[in-house]
A and B are shown apart, each in its own frame.
Chain A
Amino acid sequence: MTVTSVRKDADALTMTLTAEFDASPTRVWQLWADPRQLERWWGPPTYPATFTAHDLAPGSHVEYHMTGPSGDQPRSFWDILEADPPHRLVFLDGFAHADGTPNPDFSRSEGRVTIERIDAQRTRMSIEFHYASVKGMEQYLAMGMEEGLKGAVGQIDAILAEA
């Protein structure tokens, strides 16, 4: 496991996760900046993500949808608040209607990504997610993600069983 720490603060509705990679900060930044690579990790295998608009410049509107096992396609977007490649990305995550317009019935969450070099070989990435409300957290998880989560966990189990 490359996840080195997870902190969950139920009062502040915040989750902070830190992970280390054997790669440069530029390489880790590419995983966010290249939409084709981002698609390969953002959604679980059973709920892949497709990014239809993607630019990480501050003020940009990133659009994506997930595709569920039954063909359902919940749509989401990010509003990029800050970007400092390859070290920092701040965005507001939100849900959209079927036509792509933001759905104000869903509360939004703010994601802060920090990428920093540890030494010549390793890079630390920390993600801080702050949720505006518990209702929003529930909505996000209810968005068909549960099935996908089970898939992802199953995959990890399979890898561990082989090791």
Chain B
Amino acid sequence: MTPTPNADHIFAALADATRRDIVLRALAGREGVAQLARHYPMSFAAVQKHVAVLERAGLVTKERTGRRKLVLTNVEGLNLARSLLDQYETLWRGRVERMTNLITSREEIDA
């Protein structure tokens, strides 16, 4: 079962460079934990722990294909983290737009 993405867990999970890299690699969904572990200078157990953190955050899932279990990125989880910051960007772009309008309108009054 895929856990519902939780923003706090997502940001905590993404705060680590190895985990961010795992999320990128798992977008392709072609590797299991053992294959992923070969990319990093750390033990299989350490990579397994990173994958478990990502799994709890709802950022990756493990899918069984035949005898193998592949690690797959949950795109919906990634999008939640991005969308929060995007909404703040939209909020501030609106504010700057209004600040600019205010400066322009005052100049017309002063002129």
Contacts and interface: CB of A to CB of B under 8 A. Distances in A.
Partners in one complex: yes
Interface in B36-90: 81-82, 84-90
Contacts of A3: 92-93, 96
A133 B8 contact: yes
A34 to B, nearest CB: 10
Interface residues of B, number: 30
B74 to A, nearest CB: 16
14 contacts: A3-B93, A17-B93, A23-B103, A41-B98, A41-B101, A135-B8, A138-B7, A141-B87, A149-B87, A152-B91, A153-B94, A155-B94, A156-B93, A156-B94
* 6 A-B pairs with the lowest CB-CB distances in the bound complex, closest first: A152-B94, A41-B98, A134-B7, A8-B85, A19-B96, A11-B15
A145 interface: yes
Interface of B: 7-8, 10-11, 14-15, 81-82, 84-103, 106-107
Given A10-B11, A17-B93, A138-B7, 13 more contacts: A3-B96, A6-B89, A10-B14, A11-B11, A13-B11, A19-B96, A28-B103, A31-B99, A41-B101, A135-B8, A146-B87, A149-B87, A155-B94
A86 B67 CA distance: 66
Interface of A: 1-3, 6, 8, 10-11, 13, 15, 17, 19, 21-23, 27-28, 31, 37, 40-42, 44, 125, 127, 129, 133-135, 137-138, 141, 145-146, 149, 152-153, 155-156
